[in-house]
Structure 1
Amino acid sequence: MSSKDYYSVLGVSRSASADEIKKAYRKLAMQYHPDRNPGDKAAEAQFKLINEAYEVLGDAKKRQVYDTVGPQGFSEGFDPGGFPGGFSGGFGRGSGSFGDIFSEVMDGFFGGMGGSASGGRSQGEHILRQVDLSFEEAALGKEISIKIARWESCAPCSGNGSKNGKSVTVCSTCRGTGLIRVQQGFFIVQRTCNACGGEGRVISEICPACSGKGRISVDRTITRSIPAGVTTGMRVRISGEGHAGLQGGPAGDLYLDISVRPHPVFVREGDDLVVEKNLTLTQAIFGTTLEIPTLGAGYPLKVDPGTQPGTVRRIRGKGIANPATKGIGDLVVRLGVEIPTRLTREQREILERYAEVSGDAPAAGSSPDGGLFSKVKSIFD
């Protein structure tokens, strides 16, 4: 075993993470592999040293021994806490083909997709449906029933795809992986196994109910409760109500995309329920009690004398539930003042008298200044 610094061999620091060590190994192994350097003895020697270093640093226990006692911890006959016979013999990675290393590199780039089998157990597909709700249904919650067509496990073959659930053998061509490796010039690529169609198995007697698919199409009605407080754009997940998995794999999920119709009275702002209410001129001046609509019973709101247009009143806990936090928003009442568009002569005389007493009436020959008198006068202009 070489006494060289394995960290230097891989070009990493002693504090390097496992991922950094693996990434460095892959890069160097690709560079110095004998398949890419035919007849180059120096590259071959360096390739062996790279594999030697990674065999130690790529294993957490071996790396700990190396960091403690150095390369001598792996000399002939040394047994560092459960590694019998040391590691003076050959290394598995040293004898690997370039195609093996290339596949490992591709796995790192694409999250393992390049080397994963297409056959075997796999989760069923998800189902997505649109659900249209009224404002009240979305705010208060509602139990809905939705019809879907989905793949379900075939009962006669228990999802196996073979007659009576038997007569299934592992594909001898791909050895159950569903994939085969094919060399194309310098590279080795993976393809779906033609012998089994990527299933990784061969069925001698196909189930007549599902034609060997292991799944049959079934129409179902799913009934579930939509939680209170959902809003347009939310997606509700119903676990396990999607398509059945393949070869006994778990079922997919059913997703419901929520769409909420607008309301003629209410507006939603976050978890708050917003209502706009107009007061008459006398109600704004003298005060009153208004019946404010809510999602339940009406709420009596006391309005103080002299309430100004644009006044906002907030009633705690009378808004909409939040399905995530379980909190409840407020009822927000925005008050306006409705100016009459028509007045009787008596009403006008009273308001003109009020304007004179309050000093709001314009002087003779002057222009209206926008006060109460001018607003009333403009009704008749």
Structure 2
Amino acid sequence: MDYTQLKKDIIKYSQKIGIDKIGFASADPFIELKSRLIRQQELHFQSGFEEKDIEKRVDPSLIFDKPQSIIAIALAYPSKLKEAPKGKKGERRGIFCKASWGIDYHQILKDRLTKLEDYISSKVPHARFKSMVDTGELVDRAVAERAGIGWSGKNCSIITPEFGSYVYLGEMITNLPFEADQPIENQCGTCRKCLDACPTGALVQGGQLNSNSCIAFLTQTKDFLADEFKEKLGNRLYGCDTCQTVCPKNKGIDFHFHEEMIASPELAKPLLEPLLTISNKEFKQKFGVVSGSWRGKKPIQRNAIIALAHFNEESSLPILIQVMKEDVRPVIRGTAAWAIGKIGGIRAKEALSEAKGKEKDETVQQEIQKAEIMLQ
């Protein structure tokens, strides 16, 4: 088998099926990555969403029998929303991050990887694969960096020369000995715009992220948010784009190559108030196609409540009071109480006083008390 020619054929085919960039890497263990992951674990900087076995994250041979190479792919996604609806007083809107626009990217990349597997199998019947997107054992960014897709930026994103950091990543371990591509030299230089712009200081230093204070992570949690993070959330419903938006390498970058990634404006920037009382069925019907729905409606609703407080939206007090009184979930009731206190006014004070006398949950009572202090 002429693997040099096969590699050329694969690259050509990848372009036909909508893969914007492809690279080939060795399947050797990621030695340097291991020490960084151990340090992240020691500092408690991990999100908890990752594969917990560090050995599996850095050694392809532990998850695939006799790996010979890894194929990395990248698909560019849009960075600008066409015909974006504008929020206004009485009709405030939240925002999903750019990576959650369009159809869930996991599905899109898995489709491309499956097509790539089928093509390679047609050429090499004995070929074996293990493909993964985001939720696999390997670290997507480490594979993409080794395969020459881009360099690992200070904002902990892979930055490509062609598409900036607005790319989805996926990879495929194979038993085929492809020649590895050369990594790209890091081009961040002395720039630290992402570090300075991070709303919570989660970017501890270039290339090191404390996930537990990263807004992108926090928007996906289901418990109460600490007050310091509530103040930083703004109108974000899912994810955070700040460290990408300020990156000079993303200036002027906006590609609309893939129809599946074209955002529905009403999904990308939905009205906030309707989210507070949306049913599970309605949520799945409306938002189930986007990646930002994977944790269910609860985090989105909590974030929507915080966003209304961010806008100081007095017209939302009736629905916030209703949620504080009637919602069965303490996190939602308590967050609504905090928002009511943040917005303030006589009506807010009366509602909190009434809720304080009826609320049985201790954590919600604490939120009510904090809200009342804000009103003093």
Structure with higher helix content: 2
Q: Which has the larger radius of gyration?
A: 1
Taking structure 2 as the reference length, the TM-score comes to 0.22
Structure with higher strand content: 1
